[in-house]
Amino acid sequence: MVIKINLSFEEMWEKIIACDRKYDGLFFTAVKTTKIYCRPSCRSRKPKKVNVEFYYEINAVEEAGFRPCKRCQPEIEQSPHIEIVKNIITLLVNHYKQKIVLKDIADQIGLSPYYLERLFKQETSETPRTYLEKIRIDKAAYLLKSTKMSNLEICYEVGFQSPSNFYKVFRSLNNCSPSEYRKVIPE
C-alpha cells in the first residue's frame, strides 16, 4: 500500500527546484521529453515545468515508460531502513498541522520512541521534531508567497502552537522573519 503525500504540483515543483532531499522517495519527477525520472534532490539541469509529471510510486513511473536518472539513481534504495523512514516522513508531511509527539509517531509506525528517533536521526541527520519543523516552515513559506493570510493565521495553519516558536524557527531556518520573507520573495 502506498501512502501519498499531500502536496500540490506547485509545491512539488518548488521541492525539485530547491533539490530538497527531505522528499526523496516520497515522489518522483518524470520528464516527458527525455523519458527520465529523478529524485526531488537530483542536481541535474532542471526541465521546463510543462514537461514535468510527478509520480508517487517507482513502479508507476517505470510502467509509464520512464527510465531512471543515471546521476541520482532513484531506483536504488540507499538503506535497509529507507522504507521505515519514508513512512515516518510521509506521516509527518500528511499530518504537519496536527500536534504530533514522538510516541504517536512510534505507535503509528510500530517502533519504540527511542529506536524510532535513533533510526530517523541516523538516516536523515535530524530528529523527527526538527524535520517536522522544517516541513511546517516550508508550508509557511509557500503560504506567505501564495496567500494573503496574516502571519498569525499561517502560524496556526501550519501547526505551530505558539507564535513565538513559529517566529523563532522561521528565523533560524530562513535568516529572516516571516514579514521580511514575504517582502523579499516576489509573488
Query: Residue 163 falls within a domain, yes or no?
Result: yes
Final residue in a domain of this structure, among 34, 50, 68: 68
In sequence order, the 6+-apart residues with CB closer than 8 A to the CB of 90 are 3, 5, 26
Q: Determine what percent of the chain is predicted with pLDDT higher than 70.
A: 94
pLDDT of residue 3: 58
Tell me how far apart the alpha carbons of residues 93 and 154 are, in angstroms, rounded to a whole number: 16
Assess whether 147 and 87 both reside in one domain: yes
Tell me how far apart the alpha carbons of residues 169 and 158 are, in angstroms, rounded to a whole number: 12
Give CA torsion, residues 73, 75, 78, 83, to 10 deg: 150
Mean pLDDT, rounded, of the chain: 89
Supply the range of the domain harboring residue 47: 9-68
Assess whether 34 and 118 both reside in one domain: no
pLDDT of residue 183: 86
pLDDT digit string, tens, across residues 64-111: 999 999 888 888 766 667 788 888 999 999 999 999 999 999 998 889
pLDDT of residue 19: 86
Number of domains making up the chain: 2
pLDDT at 32 > cutoff 80: yes
176 counts as catalytic? no
pLDDT digit string, tens, across residues 127-157: 999 999 999 999 999 999 999 999 999 999 9
Confidence of residue 25 (pLDDT cuts 50, 70, 90): confident
Query: Residue 3 falls within a domain, yes or no?
Result: no
CATH number of the domain where residue 166 is located: 1.10.10.60
Assess whether 30 and 88 both reside in one domain: no
pLDDT digit string, tens, across residues 38-74: 999 888 889 999 999 999 888 899 999 999 998 888 8
Report residue 85 as a C-alpha cell.
523512514
Report residue 120 as a C-alpha cell.
530517523
Tell me how far apart the alpha carbons of residues 76 and 54 are, in angstroms, rounded to a whole number: 18
Q: What single string gives the DSSP state of each residue in the chain?
A: -PPPP---HHHHHHHHHTT-GGGBTTBEEEETTTTEEE-TT--SPPPPGGGEEEES-HHHHHHTT-EE-TTT-TTS---TTHHHHHHHHHHHHHTTTS---HHHHHHHHTS-HHHHHHHHHHHHSS-HHHHHHHHHHHHHHHHHHH----HHHHHHHTT-S-HHHHHHHHHHHHSS-HHHHHHHS--
Assess whether 92 and 157 both reside in one domain: yes
Among the listed residues 38, 42, 69, 72, the single catalytic one is 38
Assess whether 127 and 157 both reside in one domain: yes
Query: Residue 2 falls within a domain, yes or no?
Result: no
pLDDT of residue 78: 63
Kindly report the number of other CB atoms within 10 A of residue 40's CB atom: 25
Of 2, 18, 148, residue with least CA distance to 10 = 18
Assess whether 125 and 184 both reside in one domain: yes
β-pairing verdict for 36-38 and 67-68: parallel
pLDDT at 168 > cutoff 80: yes
